[in-house]
Chain A
Amino acid sequence: MSIILQGGPDVSARETLKPVLSIKDLSVSYTTGLGTVSAVDGVSLDINAGEIFGLAGESGCGKSTIANAIMRLLQSPAKVTGGSIELNQRNVLRLSDEELRRTRWREMSMVFQSAMNAMNPVMTIGEQIMDVFTTHEKMPKKEARERAAHLLSLVDIKADRLKSYPHQLSGGMRQRVVIAIALALNPSLLIMDEPTTALDVVVQRDIMAQIKELQQSLGFSVLFITHDISLMVEFSHRMAVMYAGRLVEVAPSNGLLDDPLHPYTMALMNAFPPLSGPRTELLGLPDAPPSSAGRPSGCSFHPRCPMAVDSCRIQDPVLRPAAETHDAACLLVPEFVAPSERRAQ
């Protein structure tokens, strides 16, 4: 387990550190012809300096909406309806356009799932990397080219590739270039939305290892979004599981692996058959059709939950501590009371 936490932030120092990113009660909704749909509903999370924070969940749960909200990339009909997003103690949602332009790339940058779509097909890789330096740093071309070559070397791509066009690179190489571009101005937060989903496992393994290496040497924080919970457990220090627009469980990754508390997390863990041991029957979750009626009453997971009791249909669970560093939003999980408070009672 020590391997997983290697290079992570010191847990004891966590209390005193100001988080790089602090999201409080963020709500985002989409306005459609049939009414408003809540995509993100009161999400709060902190990401500390040098931390890799994972956000896991299935399609449509709102994880990409959170990423886009942080980058202020949400477009109508999506709208932030409440809450705040503080990046280095400044509310991103209140920044003027000019301030936002300076903040993006310098303080936060994003890697998208499809690298092919993120790059301009008629510009060489070099031009696209140099673009960052010339526009954001007003750097002379010669210096920009040197910096671009250096960046490529960080992701193990030879400098002669600067003259290549995106289509001349493999999928994995393109994704590396996109990561290099995202890191160009040394941001304090890197958001990665399903960065390796379109890639093969062997390439995925290489890229994730490389990101981890860069993260340790450069010290940026990562918000890592994926549906692949086993990849996330291996890669992130702390993670949150999201369901229907809310966080249902937040814990250090190894804690979540050893002791998942929310039934949905357990189901996700069980969704990946093991590569060793006896072959046992796994049970998936019942399928949930898309609903136009909005969220179910009570706990939104109860229609698919194998452990649901009557009160789950009525009472809406909130995210609350279940252990010292482990939060869960489930009625069946008893609330954790800190030892100090226990004595006071």
Chain B
Amino acid sequence: MSIPSNLETVQGTKAPSLVQVRNLSKDYHSGSFPFRSTVPAVKNVSFDIGQGEIVALVGESGSGKSTIARILARLEQPSKGSLILDGEDIFATQKRKASMAYRGKVQMVFQDPFGSLNPAHRIEHFLTRPLLLHQGFAGTNALRFKVRELIATVGLDEAMLERYPHQLSGGQRQRVAIARALAAEPEIILADEPTSMLDVSVRIGILNLMRRLRDDRGVSMLYITHDLASARYIADKTMVMCAGELVEGGESLELMANPHHPYTQLLLSAVPDARGANRAPRTAGPGEHYKSPTGPGQRVQLSDSHWALGYPSAG
């Protein structure tokens, strides 16, 4: 393994990286000759996600964060780069069996809980199907037991299994979507803006659930959001994305207390914060060590768990 990894768990032991994304790029093409144009959605992105780690990917709409999620979910093929899960390069093999196995290990929770559950099926169906498909459950009793266990895990009542999606609130539906993802016993859950369509008072409940699942089951998560405060709340590490590039990354609390890249600073200053007066003063802007020999486009390691992309200085 030539790639250095800075992932350390709280205990101080090195956690093996579950997911390694290396030099990932994705271009979208549109039009046809001679008006063909290429839009780079993701540019040369590399990051790791450790076992049992919650990593947040924040950025504005159009920054490419959802494209990364779609590539990780294998809904999109990258233009360049590699994705390594459990030591296996996913895009190197095209075999159906490997693809099925991958999908069992990586599950997704989508933004819209109203659109992601088929309205014609009862809740029980959504949990039974992944168990049959990925877990090879056959015995009805074992299956029923597992379904009840799943629904309890996400904090819903057994009676919900009999209901249809329209009889549930948005938060409850999102919990069902999480239970469905868990049914496949995934190693990592990709959550693409899982709370942005929910009412504010129930968002925290979903975030707490995600964190509890990580604590209890050791599931890793990639949490994609535009909400920096929620990233700070649940994610161990945060990566900031701007125009297809990762511009800054690091341990969440450290990154938000001490943002270095101008884009991160801009994002943070724009978040409505009613208690802004109490906001901790920024300890430093881009410091001297930041104007390091590495030029724009090069990562600058600011501390063990914090880096930022170099940018052209104003002067």
Contact = CB atoms under 8 A, between A and B. Distances in A.
Asked if A and B bind, the verdict is: yes
Contacts of A1: 277
A257 B275 CA distance: 8
B270 interface: yes
Contacts of A267: 201
B60 interface: yes
B302 interface: no
A275 B279 contact: yes
B199 interface: yes
Nearest to B209: A284
B104 interface: no
A201 B271 contact: yes
A167 B276 CA distance: 36
Contacts of B271: 201, 275
B204 A200 contact: no
B261 to A, nearest CB: 14
B274 A271 contact: no
- Please report whether the interface of chain B is mostly helix, strand, loop or mixed according to DSSP: helix
B225 to A, nearest CB: 11
Given A1-B277, A201-B60, A230-B272, A274 B203 contact: no
A276 B203 contact: no
Interface in A280-314: 281-290, 304
Nearest to B202: A287
A281 B205 CA distance: 10
B208 A281 contact: yes
B172 interface: yes
B253 interface: yes
Interface in B247-294: 253, 256-257, 266-280
Contacts of A5: none
B270 A204 contact: yes
Interface string A42-62: 000000000000000011000
SS class, residues of chain A in contact with chain B = loop
B171 A287 contact: yes
Most chain A CB inside 10 Å of its own CB: which residue of B61, B175, B273: B273
B65 interface: no
Interface in B230-262: 230, 232-233, 253, 256-257
B60 A202 contact: yes
Interface string B100-139: 0000000000000000000000000000000000000000
Nearest to B174: A287
Interface in A180-229: 200-202, 204-205, 227-229
Interface residues of A, number: 41
A33 interface: no
A273 B230 contact: yes
A284 B208 contact: yes
B152 interface: no
Given A202-B267, A257-B275, A276-B280, A289 B168 contact: yes
A271 to B, nearest CB: 4
B273 A230 contact: yes
A289 to B, nearest CB: 5
Contacts of B168: 289
A270 interface: yes
Interface residues of B, number: 42
Contact of B205 (A58, A277, A286): A286
B298 interface: no
Contacts of A228: 200, 272
B229 interface: yes
Contacts, number: 112
Contacts of A204: 270, 272
B169 interface: yes
Given A275-B256, A282-B233, A201 B226 contact: yes
Contacts of B207: 273
A184 to B, nearest CB: 28
A124 B232 CA distance: 42
Contacts of A205: 269-270, 272
A272 B171 contact: no
B228 interface: yes
Nearest to A227: B200
B23 interface: no
Contact of B278 (A201, A272, A276, A279): A276
Interface string B164-179: 0001110110010000
A83 B168 CA distance: 33
B60 A275 contact: no
Interface in B40-61: 60-61
Given A287-B202, A289-B167, A289-B169, A275 B230 contact: no
Contacts of B175: 287
27 contacts: A1-B277, A58-B200, A200-B61, A201-B271, A201-B272, A202-B267, A205-B269, A205-B270, A230-B272, A230-B273, A234-B272, A257-B274, A268-B201, A269-B274, A270-B204, A271-B204, A272-B200, A272-B229, A273-B232, A274-B229, A279-B232, A279-B233, A282-B233, A283-B204, A283-B208, A284-B202, A289-B169
Interface of B: 60-61, 167-169, 171-172, 175, 199-208, 226, 228-230, 232-233, 253, 256-257, 266-280
Given A271-B201, A275-B271, A285-B205, 8 more contacts: A200-B226, A202-B270, A234-B274, A273-B204, A274-B273, A276-B257, A283-B204, A284-B206
Interface of A: 1, 58-59, 200-202, 204-205, 227-231, 233-235, 257, 264, 267-277, 279, 281-290, 304
